C-alpha cells in the first residue's frame, strides 16, 4: 500500500513538472516583454493572445487528477507517434522521388568509379531502396500498434500511414501517386484527430464540473484550511516545487560550467560589498561559491522562490532530526515526520519566504540577490540556534535532575551544548566586530547573543545540579541560585532586545519607512519588551512576596524541634532539623519548602488555612503570654491544706 502511494506520488510529480515549467517560462517571457515594449490592454489582444492558451494548457497539466493526466500524456505520445509515421513515410517518398530521377544513383557512381562498369550497380541501389521500404513499413506498424495500445483503441483509422506502403511493396505505382495517397492519408488523419477531440469535449467539461463540485464540498465541510490540506495531499505542492527548483538549478549549474563563466570580477564586486577578501578562498570555497551563485541565479520567479523555501524547510527539519538522533542515539525513535510544533522547519521556510518577498529580492540583479540572500540565510541560521537550544535545554535539565541515563548520554548532550555555546559566541563576535554594522547584522547578533547567554546559563545550572547530586550534604539555597542564574540570562536577553528596538527606532527616525514597518515595530516592542518585562517583573515580585511571607513566620525553637523529633516535612518528606518555620495554624515546614509552596498559593499545605500576617502576630503574642503564665505558675509555691481550708 505504501509502495503504491509512493509510486503515485512520484508519477504525479513527474507528470505535473512540465506544467509548472511552462508556467515559469511564460511568466519570464511576459516579464521580458513588459520590460521591452508596452503591450496593448485591449480585450481583443488579451483574448486572442497565444500565451493565454498556453497558460490554460499549463494550468490544466498542473491541476488535472492523476488518472486523467496519465491519459492525456498517453494521447500526446500517441499523437507524436502518428506525426513520426507521417515524417518517416514522407522522407521515404522523397528518397524514392530522387532515386527515380537517377540523382542518387549518379551520385553513388561518381563516388565509386570502380563499380561504374558493373551491371549490378543499379540493381544494388534498387535493393537498398526496398530495404528502406520494409524498414519503414515495420517501423510504422510498430508506431501504430503502440498508439492503439496507449489510447486503448482497436480502430484501423490509425493505420492510415501504412496503406501507401502496400502499393510500394507490390510495385506498379509512381512516386507522384504515392505522394497523393500520402496527402490523402494526412487529411484523413487530421479529420480523425479533430473528430476524436470533439468527442472528448463532453468528458472534459464533465471532469471540470466534478472538480468544481469536489472543491465546493471540501470547502463546505472543512473550510479553506481543508482545501489547502486536500490540495497538499492531492498535488504534493511542496515536492513539486522542489523538483522544479532542482531541475532549474541543474540546468543553470551545467550552463555555468559549460560556458566557463569568469568569476574574477564577480568575486571582487561581491566580496567588496561583504567587506571580505576573495584572494583567501580555496578551490573548495570557490566551488561552493559557484554553487551558491547558481542558486542565486535561479531566483528569477516566484515559483523558484517558493521552491527554495520548501528546500530550506526540509533541510532544517533534517538538521533537527540529526540532532535528536545524536542526543537519543536512535534513529527509529525520532523520525522526521514525528517532529511537531516549531521544530518542523516550517517557521524557517516561511521566514525565508517573507523576508525575500519583503525585500523584493526578485527585482535585484544577481550581485544584489547574492548579498541579500546571504544576509537572509545568516538570519535564519541565527534563529535555528535558538531552536536547537530548545531541543538541548530540556534534555540537559532532565539529565541533571532525574539522574538517569548513561554517562555516554551525558557526554553527548554536554558536547552538543558546548558546541552550540562556542559557535554562537564566535558568530556573535564575527557579527559585531568584523562585519559592517547594518540592520540585518544587528538582528543576527541579537539572536546569537541570546543563544549564547541562555546556553551558558543552562550549562551553569547543569553543573550546579550535578555537583549538588554528587555531594553528601544538599544545597539549601540551590533554588535561589538557579533562579538568579536564569534571571541574569533573561536580563541579558531583555537588555539586548531593548538595544535592538532602540537601533530600529533610530533607523526609522533617520530614514524614510513605511507604515507596515512602524506597525511591525510596535507589535515587536509589545510582545518582546512589554510582555516579557511584565512577566519577569511579576515573577520577581512573586518570589519576593513569598520570601517576605516566610520571613514573617516564627522560626521553630530547639524545644519545638525536640518535641517534633522524628516528624517529616509534609512537602519534601525529609527530617526537620534546622531552618524550620511555624505556620499560624501550628504546622511546621522547612523554610525553603514553604517558600516554594508560597509561589503557588497562600494556604497551609496541611489544613489549607489561608496565610494571615496579623494572625501570626497575635498567635505569637498569645503564645508568648501563655508561656509567661505557665512559667509563673511553675515558679509560684502551692498553697497548704490549712490555707485552703
pLDDT on residue 361 = 87
Whole-number CA gyration radius for the chain: 42
Find out whether 485 and 457 touch, Cβ atoms under 8 Å: yes
- Considering the chain, what is the average pLDDT of its residues? 73
pLDDT on residue 634 = 42
pLDDT on residue 339 = 46
User: For the whole prediction, is pTM greater than 0.85?
Assistant: no
pLDDT on residue 422 = 93
Q: How confident is the model at residue 94 (pLDDT cuts 50, 70, 90)?
A: low
The mean per-residue pLDDT over the stretch 401-417 comes to 85
What's the CA gap between 105 and 123, in Å, rounded?
10
Q: How confident is the model at residue 167 (pLDDT cuts 50, 70, 90)?
A: low
**In the structure grid, which three cell numbers stand for residue 255, read together?**
550552463
Q: Give residue-wise pLDDT tens across range 564-586.
A: 665 778 888 777 777 788 887 87
Q: Shortest CA distance to 45 belongs to which of 33, 32, 59, 57? A: 33
CA distance between the termini of the chain: 108
Q: Which residues of 87-118 are buried (b: 16+ CB within 10 A; e: fewer)?
A: ebbeebbebbbebeeeebbeebbeeeeeeeee
Residue with the larger pLDDT of the pair 543 and 182: 543
Phi, psi of 432 (to 5 degrees): -85, -35
Q: Give residue-wise pLDDT tens across range 530-560.
A: 777 777 788 888 888 888 888 888 888 777 7
Residue with the larger pLDDT of the pair 545 and 181: 545
> In whole angstroms, how far apart are CA 591 and each of 310, 338, 551?
55, 44, 9
pLDDT on residue 74 = 82
Residue with cell 513538472: 17
Between vectors from CA 240 to CA 368 and to CA 318, what angle results, nearest 5°?
A: 75
Q: Give residue-wise pLDDT tens across range 211-240.
A: 788 778 877 777 777 777 777 777 888 888
- Which pairs with CB-CB distance under 8 Å and at least 24 residues apart come from 210-219? 211/63, 211/65
pLDDT at residue 107 greater than cutoff 90: no
pLDDT on residue 99 = 57
Q: How confident is the model at residue 423 (pLDDT cuts 50, 70, 90)?
A: very high
pLDDT at residue 632 greater than cutoff 70: no
**In the structure grid, which three cell numbers stand for residue 307, read together?**
521552491
Q: How confident is the model at residue 416 (pLDDT cuts 50, 70, 90)?
A: very high
Find out whether 474 and 468 touch, Cβ atoms under 8 Å: yes
What's the CA gap between 36 and 30, in Å, rounded?
10
pLDDT at residue 184 greater than cutoff 60: yes
Q: Which residues of 373-399 are buried (b: 16+ CB within 10 A; e: fewer)?
A: bbbbebbbbbbbbbbbbebbbebbeeb
Find out whether 189 and 160 touch, Cβ atoms under 8 Å: yes
What are the chain's domains? 2-202 (no CATH), 237-511 (no CATH), 553-630 (3.30.40.10)
- 590 three-class SS: strand
The mean per-residue pLDDT over the stretch 448-465 comes to 89
User: Diameter of the chain by CA atoms?
Assistant: 177
What's the CA gap between 301 and 362, in Å, rounded?
7
pLDDT on residue 420 = 92
Percent of the chain at pLDDT > 70 equals: 68
What's the CA gap between 334 and 330, in Å, rounded?
7
Residue 155 DSSP symbol: -
Q: Give residue-wise pLDDT tens across range 330-342.
A: 777 654 544 445 5
pLDDT on residue 597 = 84
Least confident stretch, 3-7, 78-82, 205-209, 326-330: 3-7
- 282 three-class SS: coil
The mean per-residue pLDDT over the stretch 375-395 comes to 87
pLDDT at residue 177 greater than cutoff 90: no
The mean per-residue pLDDT over the stretch 628-636 comes to 44
pLDDT on residue 546 = 82
Amino acid at each position: 500500500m505504501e509502495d503504491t502511494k509512493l509510486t503515485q506520488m512520484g508519477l504525479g510529480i513527474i507528470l505535473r513538472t512540465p506544467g509548472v515549467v511552462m508556467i515559469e517560462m511564460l511568466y519570464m517571457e511576459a516579464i521580458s516583454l513588459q520590460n521591452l515594449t508596452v503591450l496593448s490592454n485591449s480585450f481583443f489582444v488579451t483574448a486572442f493572445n497565444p500565451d493565454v492558451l498556453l497558460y490554460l494548457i499549463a494550468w490544466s497539466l498542473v491541476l488535472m487528477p492523476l488518472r486523467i493526466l496519465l491519459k492525456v500524456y498517453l494521447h500526446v505520445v500517441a499523437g507524436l507517434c502518428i506525426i513520426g509515421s507521417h515524417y518517416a513515410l514522407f522522407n521515404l517518398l522523397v528518397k524514392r522521388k530522387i532515386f527515380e530521377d537517377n540523382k542518387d544513383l549518379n551520385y553513388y557512381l561518381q563516388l565509386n568509379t570502380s563499380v561504374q562498369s558493373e551491371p549490378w550497380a543499379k540493381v544494388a541501389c534498387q535493393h537498398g531502396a526496398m530495404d528502406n521500404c520494409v524498414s519503414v513499413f515495420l517501423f510504422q506498424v510498430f508506431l501504430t500498434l503502440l498508439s492503439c495500445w496507449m489510447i486503448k483503441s482497436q480502430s484501423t483509422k490509425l493505420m492510415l500511414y501504412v496503406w501507401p506502403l502496400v502499393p510500394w511493396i507490390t510495385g506498379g505505382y509512381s512516386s507522384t501517386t504515392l505522394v497523393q495517397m500520402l496527402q490523402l492519408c494526412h487529411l484523413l488523419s487530421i479529420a480523425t484527430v479533430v473528430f476524436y477531440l470533439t468527442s472528448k469535449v463532453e468528458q472534459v467539461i464533465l471532469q471540470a464540473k466534478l472538480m468544481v463540485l469536489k472543491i465546493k464540498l471540501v470547502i463546505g465541510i472543512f473550510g479553506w484550511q481543508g482545501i489547502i490540506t486536500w490540495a497538499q495531499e492531492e498535488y504534493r505542492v511542496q515536492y513539486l516545487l522542489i523538483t522544479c527548483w532542482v531541475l532549474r538549478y541543474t540546468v543553470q549549474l551545467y550552463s555555468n560550467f559549460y560556458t566557463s563563466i569568469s568569476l574574477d570580477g564577480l568575486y571582487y564586486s561581491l566580496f567588496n560589498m561583504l567587506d571580505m577578501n576573495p584572494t583567501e578562498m580555496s578551490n573548495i570555497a570557490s566551488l561552493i561559491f559557484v554553487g551558491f551563485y547558481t542558486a542565486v541565479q535561479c531566483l528569477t520567479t516566484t515559483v523558484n522562490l517558493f521552491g527554495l523555501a520548501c528546500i530550506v524547510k526540509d533541510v532544517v527539519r533534517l538538521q533537527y532530526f540529526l540532532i535528536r538522533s545524536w542526543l537519543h542515539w536512535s534513529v527509529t525513535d525520532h523520525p522526521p515526520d514525528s517532529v511537531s510544533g516549531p521544530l518542523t522547519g516550517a517557521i524557517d521556510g516561511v521566514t525565508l519566504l517573507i523576508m525575500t518577498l519583503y525585500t523584493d529580492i526578485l527585482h535585484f540583479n544577481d550581485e544584489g540577490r547574492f548579498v541579500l540572500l546571504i544576509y537572509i540565510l545568516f538570519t535564519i541560521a541565527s534563529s535555528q540556534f535558538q531552536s536547537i537550544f530548545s531541543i538541548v535545554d530540556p534534555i540537559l535539565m532532565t539529565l541533571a535532575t532525574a539522574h538517569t541515563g548513561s554517562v555516554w548520554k551525558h557526554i553527548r548532550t554536554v558536547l552538543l551544548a558546548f558546541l552550540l555555546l562556542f559557535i554562537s559566541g564566535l558568530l556573535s563576535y564575527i557579527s559585531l566586530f568584523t562585519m559592517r554594522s547594518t540592520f540585518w547584522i544587528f538582528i543576527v547578533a541579537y539572536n546569537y547573543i541570546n543563544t549564547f547567554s541562555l546556553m551558558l546559563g543552562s550549562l551553569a545550572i547543569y553543573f550546579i545540579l550535578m555537583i549538588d547530586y554528587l555531594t553528601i550534604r544538599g544545597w539549601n539555597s540551590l533554588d535561589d541560585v538557579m533562579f538568579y542564574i536564569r534571571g541574569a540570562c533573561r536580563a541579558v536577553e531583555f537588555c539586548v532586545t531593548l538595544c535592538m528596538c532602540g537601533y530600529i527606532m533610530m533607523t526609522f527616525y533617520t530614514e524614510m519607512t513605511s507604515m507596515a514597518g512602524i506597525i511591525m515595530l510596535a507589535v515587536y516592542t509589545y510582545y518582546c519588551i512589554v510582555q516579557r518585562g511584565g512577566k519577569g517583573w511579576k515573577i520577581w515580585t512573586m518570589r519576593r512576596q513569598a520570601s517576605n511571607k516566610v520571613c514573617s513566620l516564627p522560626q521553630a525553637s530547639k524545644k519545638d524541634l525536640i518535641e517534633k523529633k522524628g516528624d517529616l516535612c509534609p512537602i519534601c518528606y525529609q527530617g526537620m532539623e534546622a531552618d524550620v518555620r511555624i505556620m499560624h495554624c501550628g504546622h511546621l515546614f522547612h523554610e525553603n519548602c514553604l517558600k516554594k509552596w508560597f509561589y503557588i498559593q497562600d494556604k497551609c499545605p496541611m489544613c489549607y488555612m489561608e496565610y494571615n500576617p496579623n494572625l501570626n502576630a497575635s498567635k505569637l503574642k498569645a503564645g508568648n503570654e501563655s508561656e509567661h503564665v505557665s512559667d509563673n505558675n511553675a515558679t509560684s509555691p502551692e498553697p497548704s491544706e490549712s490555707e485552703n481550708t
